[in-house]
Structure 1
Amino acid sequence: MTPENRPGGPTRRNERGRERNRSGSRQFSSTAPAERTRRADPARLVAYEVLRAVAADDAYANLVLPGSIRKHRLGRQDAGFATELAYGALRAQGTYDAILALCVDRPLTQLDPAILDALRLGTHQLMAMRVPPHAALDQTVGLARAVIGAGPSSLINAVLRKVSRKSFDEWLDALVTGVEDPVRISSLRYSHPEWIVRALRQSLVNHGRPVEEIDALLEADNAAPVVNLVALPGIGSLDEAMAAGARSGELVKDSALFAAGDVGRLESVRSGKVRVQDAGSQLVARALAAVDLDRRGAGGEQWLDLCAGPGGKSALLAAIAAQRGDTLVANEPAEHRAALVRQALGAVDPAVWSVRVGDGREIGAAYPEGFDRILVDAPCTGLGALRRRPESRWRRTASDLTELGPLQRGLLAAALEAVRPGGVVAYVTCSPHPAETSAVVQDSLRGREGYTLMEAGPVLDSVSTGRSLQAGHGATAQLWPHIHGTDAMFLALIRRTAG
């Protein structure tokens, strides 16, 4: 039977043998479907490269993303899309994996990690972005064909079609149906490992907050943070940032909130005179500088940033010290991170600061009673900065709390030996967990005479923009993402009253 004799009349085929659309009003695409889906959209390719680097190379998303954006020459809009896709897929990885587990016919651990990353990207587009379902599927399949292969792309297409049959809320309802454990429910709904949910519930209670705030805290962790800027006092200006669309910071002076694209395009940022720094970090550094001391050395005060890398708080402290005629030593044990500290301090008069490379736990013996103000920004799990480090929630384990404890206590003990009578030590972490905050302070002060735990809340209020932060609980202070819009910074101020 010839085409002309088939039911319905002659077929409408082009010279390549493909049948044209039967509607006369529609135009046939110049690109065949197979060719369209073999191409990787540059923005999605950037997001994929970030996820692969995080999973395969243990990289940090915030370090990989800018370089990948530059490599693929993304414009502002595409860069924003890539950022939301990569960060969003990383934050929601736990929930997305739970959804995918219901749509894949094998354990996810048996999937090639590259395929799983592509599925996570496709799922985020379907569940949480303003991307039409057909575009999310077509572009993810195209990405897979370009960078993984035609075979895996068929699997990805089939799985994402299953994902697209329900909305995100419908999937959440399906995941928590029959689950009674509130920790498990919060873990699934807000994509946090269960141990972190438990840890944050404990942290809220320890710092005087109701445990019912846990969902608000987890939700705040999943919100994309606005870039915070600080102008180094006496050195930088926010005028350029404000002209580019920034708005004044709500918590701390000389700060701004920037949501107008790549902050690296600002000359003031490139020069180091204006720095990207969370408002919580700004507040705790300024609080140390604001404490009234019982004494002042004849030649000015000597300050110490004991755990200085990568140097953000050191730069702010050094700028304040320069205004007062004081000096700062920035200590960092790793040489490559010490180089970052020197770079961060580059905008400040070099006569004001110096960098020491060495173990901070030895500072007490090296400089007994040598400093008036000491910042101990101790290495911690980073549970208070999960919104800025989307991959960290999947890397940390509960055992990290135990492993970091001796280091935190050793650093604080050294600082207490290195501070002069009348001076002050600020113990700071970007974690609210009691094992890294109040327990460390209590253990370090137990049995020591001549030290007093100051009221940290009023000092924080004194460096805020005229508002009460209500961050104090007992003598210490705790900031929160869901209350203050900052990282969950902990602050304890310890004054040495006698030698």
Structure 2
Amino acid sequence: MRGHRMNSDHPGGYRDDRGRQRPESRRAGAKNRTATRPADRRRGGDPARKVAWEVSRAVADGAYANLELPRALRSADLHGRDAAFATELTYGAIRMRGLYDAIIEFAAGRPVGQIDPPVLDSLRIGAHQILGMRVPPHAAASETVALAREVNGTGASGFVNAVLRRVTERTREEWIREVTAGRSTDEALAVEHSHPTWIVRALRGALRADGISDDADLDVALVSLLEADNAAPAVSLVARPGLATVQELVDAGAEPSKLSPVGAVLPSGDPAEIAAVRQTRAAVQDEGSQLVALALAAAPRRAEGPQDWLDLCAGPGGKAALLAALSTEQPDTTVFVNEISEHRTELVRRTLRAAIDAGIEVMIGTGDGRDLGAEEPDTYERVLVDAPCTGLGALRRRPEARWRRSPGDVTDLTAIQAELLRSALDATVDGGVVAYVTCSPHVAETTAVVHEVVHGRQDVVVEDARPLFRDAAGEQLQQLGDHPTVQLWPHVHGTDAMFFALLRKSASPES
């Protein structure tokens, strides 16, 4: 990288007696020459690696990998193994950047904050190939240097070459021992498993609150959870009842879910190639999200007759679409769908297109869910509060999320969550139910919010939700926690870490 001065013991080369910087591979008697000699150098990186770098750059500017990557793959016309390689490289480099940055700092002899961000992304991509994929180290370094030459410039490519050569000198396990030495347990786990330390501590607290009190068991569970966060998740599909069937998805190449009675798992391929998905009769949806919608729909009724359901904060509409399909199993039911953002309301409309075309009673509107309880009190039989949250339960699907959140976000979000839950309870009829759901296991966002809202109210009871969670065979799911609320886990159930509380509203003593 131009302008970087490095000592002779640093991996960027050294300065000769005239002050000229010379590359490491040209030192007298240099060993382990790389394939980046002039005769062997590629002028540019291969398309798959370039896609990974471009998506990493877009994510650094605020994009979401799961939205940006498909566009980049289409633009580069990558398919099959090339697309799979680009996907693993993209997600792995973003997901594991905490570990790789610690290793890069050591190998470069400088903090990553002193490395130009576009060059740092090239280094992360190289590090993931060397330490996290089955790419021969020699080829990983060579190809990444070629990429860096194209996207970062010739000067930077020499720096990338030198750092990655240093990275190849140790195994992943050796590097982990090096960069975690002297750290506390949670700090070491944070580096090794590439999670911010505050998230590791929050997950430890959530596991403890879930009933694991023995420290040894807690450590084992925490490591399993962190590993699950870093494992590429399967593509889960939902067949919206009355619009599609699981068998239709199986005929398209999926396998029936063992966890969700309306779910399937796609082992390979593009879900957009399935007709039912393109037509919104089916969709990509985590099995945990399917289970919470199924649980709300299955909650016992306290009165007969027509009923109105409400999804209070629905965007982008996956759970609302499943609820709409499930509502057809209960006569005279209308589903109302609310979203605060006009843009996300439009996403909800698209998601619900097949349900609306099929004549299912769905009403979609835009408004602040915190106001709806006062505007429409005692109106709805079932209300879903899928509250905005930190998303710590979906880190395996959203690799950039762990780097964008901070402890301060929790305070802001819990205030909103409590307001939404209060509004939902006010909007619910006596005898009706509210499902409070978060895609986060953080105690502050789950049981703490429920306790805060329920405390002091005489018209709300937290019911045992565990019997409502049943697998595809109809059996009750196990290991749901020691409380009436439900906590799903990636390392236990194979789902996102969804939290679910069922609140039953009864007539207040003043009524």
Q: Tell whether the structures are fold-level matches, with TM greater than 0.5.
A: yes
In 2, Cα distance between equivalents of 1:32 and 1:104:
21
* Pair 1:177-2:181 in alignment: yes
In 2, Cα distance between equivalents of 1:165 and 1:467:
50
In 1, Cα distance between equivalents of 2:417 and 2:96:
30
Q: Which amino acid aligns with 1:88?
A: G
Other-structure match for 2:438: 429
In 2, Cα distance between equivalents of 1:470 and 1:112:
46
In 2, Cα distance between equivalents of 1:195 and 1:496:
36
Q: Which amino acid aligns with 2:188?
A: I
Shift of 1:185: 1.4
Q: 1:341 to 1:350 in 2, by over 3 A?
A: farther
Shift of 1:254: 1.9
Other-structure match for 1:7: none
2:192 pairs, out of 189, 193, 201, with: 189
* Pair 1:482-2:485 in alignment: no
In 2, Cα distance between equivalents of 1:267 and 1:99:
45
Other-structure match for 1:50: 55
Shift of 1:464: 6.7
Structure number with larger C-alpha Rg: 1
Shift of 1:76: 1.3
Q: Which amino acid aligns with 2:95?
A: R
Q: 1:418 to 1:343 in 2, by over 3 A?
A: same
In structure 2, the residue corresponding to 1:224 is in which secondary structure? coil
In structure 1, the residue corresponding to 2:384 is in which secondary structure? strand
* Pair 1:306-2:309 in alignment: no
Q: Which amino acid aligns with 1:60?
A: Y
User: How many correspondences in the alignment?
Assistant: 466
In structure 2, the residue corresponding to 1:103 is in which secondary structure? helix
1:328 pairs, out of 330, 335, 340, with: 335
Shift of 1:465: 4.0
In 2, Cα distance between equivalents of 1:342 and 1:488:
27
Other-structure match for 1:344: 351
Shift of 1:132: 1.1
Shift of 1:352: 1.0
Q: 1:424 to 1:463 in 2, by over 3 A?
A: farther
Percent of aligned pairs sharing the same letter: 51
* Kept in 1: contact 2:309–2:382 (CA 8 A): yes
Q: 1:462 to 1:363 in 2, by over 3 A?
A: farther
Other-structure match for 2:46: 41
* Kept in 1: contact 2:466–2:486 (CA 8 A): yes
In 1, Cα distance between equivalents of 2:55 and 2:74:
13
In 1, Cα distance between equivalents of 2:409 and 2:449:
15
In 2, Cα distance between equivalents of 1:33 and 1:240:
55
In 2, Cα distance between equivalents of 1:289 and 1:233:
12
Other-structure match for 2:29: none
Q: Deviations over 1:278-335 (max 9, x none)?
A: 01100011000001111133xx210000110000000000001123231111100000
* Pair 1:156-2:160 in alignment: yes
Other-structure match for 1:75: 79
Q: 1:107 to 1:472 in 2, by over 3 A?
A: closer
Cα-Cα RMSD: 1.7
1:210-289 aligned within 5 A: 210=213, 211-212=218-219, 213-289=221-297
* Kept in 2: contact 1:451–1:495 (CA 8 A): yes
Shift of 1:105: 2.9
* Kept in 1: contact 2:314–2:320 (CA 8 A): yes
* Pair 1:448-2:460 in alignment: no
Shift of 1:34: 5.7
* Kept in 1: contact 2:239–2:249 (CA 8 A): no
Given the two structures, how large is their TM-score scaled by the length of structure 2?
0.89
* Kept in 2: contact 1:252–1:465 (CA 8 A): no
The farther-off stretch of 310-319 and 252-261 is 252-261
In structure 1, the residue corresponding to 2:466 is in which secondary structure? helix
* Pair 1:492-2:501 in alignment: yes
